Structure 1
Amino acid sequence: MSLDPARFRPPAPLRNAHVQSVLASSRFRKIFTRRVAADLIAGAQELILDGGEGVRLQGFLTLQNHLPQARGLAVLVHGWEGSVDSSYILATGARLLDAGFDVFRLHLRDHGDTHALNRDLFHSCRIDEVVAAVGNLARRVPHRALCVAGYSLGGNFALRVALRAPAADLGLRHVAAVCPVISPRAGLEAIEAAPWFYQHYFMHKWGRSLRRKQAIFPDAFHFSASELRAGVRGLTRALVDRYTEFDSLDAYLDGYSVAGDRLAGLQVPASILTAADDPVIPVEDFRTLSLPPQVRLSIAPWGGHCGFLAGLRLDGLAEAWVTEQLAEACPAD
């Protein structure tokens, strides 16, 4: 039966956007998802991909054993300061593996334990290296169909990979994006307006990542204590000014926006899922998108940010929805 996110009705205790968002990244869910994803983790092989111009990106490939031939190769992209072991990535990868996909979990630069792989700092406009890495993966791993799925910032990257796929000759079959960042400017404002613990959560993880980068390349980076306490806007502005080619914070935020009509020319079939109550990605950003006919937008009434938790076992609609979208695009023999 086809999933209809518009009919998603979690139990009453899970109908709060903040409960959904917090539980989605909680230790409780991680315990559950690591059990579900045991085969995905145990069968994983590390690959270092060529991102072009000397860039190296890490990921983990798990080959399916449920079908005589895999439906295709599914590339999963985590969100900002997430990793290949984030609960939503593990849960989605486990579902896709069971459905007969080979699964590759990609680390964006400076995420997970990859800070030493590249000297320059991660920022959200580094799309070229992700496109190149997906192309390198596609050439190295035999597949019938190539798909990409991402969450939050990873969903934004997935959509931008799809935009560049024809020029890069990627041959993408389908892209799925869950709660993707649409307007980075609006997303930044939403984080600032959300309850304090959202910004605290991101700043804690981001600060830890930057301190690790500084420890590995002490001659290249210095992040002062005041900068690390400046909030998402203040720290982003400092890093943009010092370590990127962008003239201003606004120019940087515009550099990875997919708002308005920027997806209108998308040639790859795509599916987008968001929640009306997402506290950090405003639903209005989705309602003003200009989308071509081959792009499907689904808005669930509940779900928070990348939550969509359907029950007390903390299993989610999102991973089932991603699997359904990709399986529909890549039927088994």
Structure 2
Amino acid sequence: MTFSVHRFEPPSFVPHRWRRGGHLQTLLAPRATMGMIEWQKLSTQIKSEKHRLPVSEGDTLILHDDMPAPWVESPRGSVLLLHGICGCHAADYMVRFTRRLLAIGVRVFRLDMRGCGESVAFCRGITHAGRSDDVLAAIEFIASLTSDRGTPIGAVGTSLGGNQLLRAAGRVGAGLDARPSYWDRVGPIVAIAPPIDLQACSDRMEAWSLRFYNHYFITQLLRRAKSTLQMREELGGLLDGRAPKTLREFDRRITAPMAGFADERSYYAESSAHSVVEQIDVPALIVTAADDPLVPVDSFVALRERLRESTRVLTMPTGGHHGYTQLDGTAWTDELIAKFYDAAW
């Protein structure tokens, strides 16, 4: 029986009493705190491996493979985790999701996208919102490792990774990318706080009230871009002059030329998932918050009427940009992901 995202009952969410509102939920998001003894105990219960994943343009990504030990092919399958704009495999939410999924017997793959985490040394390119081809390459690789065709492959994308995931599924559903032979194994998928309309997000980020977020993202992205540009002397001049002040300026001066787009508007138009999300034909859950300060909730309101029955938009009244801190300080999305795949598989 096909899993219905509309019949799934998400866990209740009672926000932290001192972290109310989108900004506090975003800025004070839960951390993946773990004591040394707890970490050592977890390490003895899992088997971890790193895979090199060749992708286009001569780049190579690192895929972190964590599985319960001893591992036998589980009917619960595997889940690919995709990080956000400044993240990597070791981001707090990536670690938290991994722990919760391993606990219910799910194999987890955490991907370091281009220029991120341990992929930095093997990439001349950078990750961006339109890298859905890298998502499909990772899923294909996972399909080849998990040879039992009866086992499903899920995926969870957070923020930018959510847009990449939805774009990948939408392009396959629309016939813009060839339908892989393994596609009948894919799903359900989850996108948390995905910036599906990059132009709308860029417009939002131009607000003076969001200057702190611009500063944070640009600082992190410039540090990452510098290491990548050291391999590409022909683009070294992109960092000349003063630093960009907004994400839009960063995308205009650095993201677009490094990724081969004419300008930032072309990048936004070609990379946003909203143009293909209605074509997704695998079970998909999109999670957003009405008070997300970075991704306008309006991006999802008009979308609801165009979606296939297999896709559901879950809009929470609060939670910020992937904050969702509960009364006890833990993250609601950790419970959501664990319950979602426990119900689906």
Structure 1 length normalisation: TM-score? 0.88
Matches within 5 A, 1:81-92: 81-92=86-97
Q: Does 1:268 align with 2:282?
A: yes
Aligned to 2:33: 31
Deviation (angstroms), 1:233: 1.1
Q: Indicate the percent of aligned positions where both proteins have the same amino acid.
A: 27
For structure 1, the residue ranges without an aligned partner over 5 or more in a row are none
* 1:265 partner letter: Q
Residues 20 and 305, structure 1, Cα contact 8 Å, conserved in 2: yes
Residues 59 and 125, structure 2, Cα contact 8 Å, conserved in 1: no
Aligned to 1:211: 226
Note closer, same or farther for the CA distance 1:222–1:49 as it changes in structure 2 (3 Å cut).
same
Aligned to 2:308: 292
Note closer, same or farther for the CA distance 1:112–1:34 as it changes in structure 2 (3 Å cut).
farther
Aligned to 2:265: 250
Note closer, same or farther for the CA distance 1:200–1:275 as it changes in structure 2 (3 Å cut).
same
Residues 26 and 322, structure 2, Cα contact 8 Å, conserved in 1: yes
Could you say what secondary structure the match of 2:314 adopts?
A: strand
Structure 1 stretch displaced more, 272-281 or 238-247 = 238-247
Deviation (angstroms), 1:271: 0.7
Select 2:182's aligned residue among 170, 187, 204: 170
Q: Does 1:229 align with 2:244?
A: yes
Deviations 1:159-186 (A, max 9, x none): 1222245612332121111111110011
Matches within 5 A, 1:1-333: 3-4=9-10, 8-24=13-29, 29-32=31-34, 39=42, 43-52=47-56, 54-65=58-69, 69-70=73-74, 71-142=76-147, 144-165=151-172, 167-171=179-183, 172-193=186-207, 194-218=209-233, 220-240=235-255, 242-259=257-274, 262-289=276-303, 290-312=306-328, 314-330=329-345
How many residue pairs get aligned? The number is 324
Note closer, same or farther for the CA distance 1:300–1:66 as it changes in structure 2 (3 Å cut).
farther
Residues 36 and 94, structure 1, Cα contact 8 Å, conserved in 2: no
Deviation (angstroms), 1:225: 4.8
2:130 & 2:110 partners in 1: Cα distance?
Answer: 20
Deviation (angstroms), 1:53: 5.2
* 2:181 partner letter: D
Structure 1 stretch displaced more, 263-272 or 124-133 = 124-133
Residues 37 and 90, structure 1, Cα contact 8 Å, conserved in 2: no
Deviation (angstroms), 1:200: 1.2
Could you say what secondary structure the match of 2:321 adopts?
A: coil
Could you say what secondary structure the match of 1:160 adopts?
A: helix
For structure 2, the residue ranges without an aligned partner over 5 or more in a row are 1-7, 174-178
Note closer, same or farther for the CA distance 1:141–1:256 as it changes in structure 2 (3 Å cut).
same
2:259 & 2:154 partners in 1: Cα distance?
Answer: 30
* 2:49 partner letter: Q
Deviation (angstroms), 1:323: 2.2
Note closer, same or farther for the CA distance 1:36–1:68 as it changes in structure 2 (3 Å cut).
same
1:157 & 1:36 partners in 2: Cα distance?
Answer: 33
1:225 & 1:188 partners in 2: Cα distance?
Answer: 23
Deviation (angstroms), 1:93: 1.1
Structure 2 length normalisation: TM-score? 0.85
After superposition, the CA RMSD in angstroms is 2.6
Deviation (angstroms), 1:34: 8.8
Deviations 1:4-32 (A, max 9, x none): 46x5221321222111111227xxx2435
Note closer, same or farther for the CA distance 1:201–1:36 as it changes in structure 2 (3 Å cut).
farther
Could you say what secondary structure the match of 1:222 adopts?
A: helix
Residues 24 and 309, structure 1, Cα contact 8 Å, conserved in 2: yes
Note closer, same or farther for the CA distance 1:49–1:101 as it changes in structure 2 (3 Å cut).
same
1:128 & 1:238 partners in 2: Cα distance?
Answer: 23
